[in-house]
Amino acid sequence: MKQLRKPEVVVITGASAGLGRAVARAFAREGAYIGLLARGRDGLEGARREVEELGGRALVLPADVADADGVEQAAETVEREFGSIDIWINNAMVSVFSPVRGMKPEEYKRVTEVTYLGYVYGTLAALKRMLPRGESPAARCTSATRRSRRLSATRSRPASPTGT
Ligand SMILES: NC(=O)c1ccc[n+]([C@@H]2O[C@H](COP(=O)([O-])OP(=O)(O)OC[C@H]3O[C@@H](n4cnc5c(N)ncnc54)[C@H](OP(=O)(O)O)[C@@H]3O)[C@@H](O)[C@H]2O)c1
């Protein structure tokens, strides 16, 4: 008899493209319920279709990770629709490829808001929900040069499906 277990509830920022979308597919193969967060609705809808074709469920969460309120609302929506968040993956980022002297102050500001504060806001939204449940999440960052089972993940139980 097939064992019944609660599907993992996962939130992935930057889930509409690239690595985030690939991670969403990996979790979908495990039947996860996934909150897909990014700004562009078209990419998010494409990711949602892929997740559902692979056996997962998905919520499209259009938001900018640099907007703390938007991230908090997204977390709220996920818990209302799917239940407690088990795993939060901070993946959204923005970079500027330029010599340092060629970069403008507003470009540094935007990179900091998205790639640093976006991680902070995501982690805070996850901790707010996980800590009262007595869970002991861990935050991790890895780069593409190091093979890891987790990329910048905040989670409450040992990792499962992502071998990215
Ligand atoms: N690609 C590499 O070679 C490489 C190497 C090392 C590490 N990484 C890490 O992997 C992660 C993803 O990289 P990638 O190459 O997959 O990036 P990507 O293809 O450019 O995708 C970026 C994703 O983030 C979303 N995003 C960007 N700005 C956002 C914002 N303000 N709010 C919400 N979502 C936002 C984008 O969707 P929208 O534009 O629709 O919002 C998209 O879904 C990053 O953390 C990066 O540091 C990548």
What letter represents residue 153's amino acid? A
Task: Kindly tell me if the per-residue pLDDT of 150 is higher than 90.
Answer: no
First to last CA, the chain: 31
Q: Is the CB of 117 under 6 A from ligand 1?
A: no
Domain residue spans of the chain: 9-155
Rounded distance, CA 118 to CA 124, Å? 10
Q: Are 141 and 152 contacting, i.e. CB atoms less than 8 angstroms apart?
A: yes
Q: What is the pLDDT of residue 145?
A: 42
The number of residues in the chain equals 164
Residue 22 Cβ contacting ligand 1 at under 6 Å: no
pLDDT value of position 110: 97
CATH of domain 9-155: 3.40.50.720
> For the chain, what percent of residues have pLDDT higher than 90?
76
What is the model's pTM?
Answer: 0.87
For helices 41-53 and 18-29, the axis angle rounded to 10 degrees is 20
Radius of gyration of the chain (CA): 16
How far away, in angstroms, is 15 Cα from ligand 1 center?
8
Pocket mutation for ligand 1, best pick of 11, 12, 19, 51 (most atoms within 8 Å of C-beta): 19
pLDDT computed for residue 130 by the predictor: 93
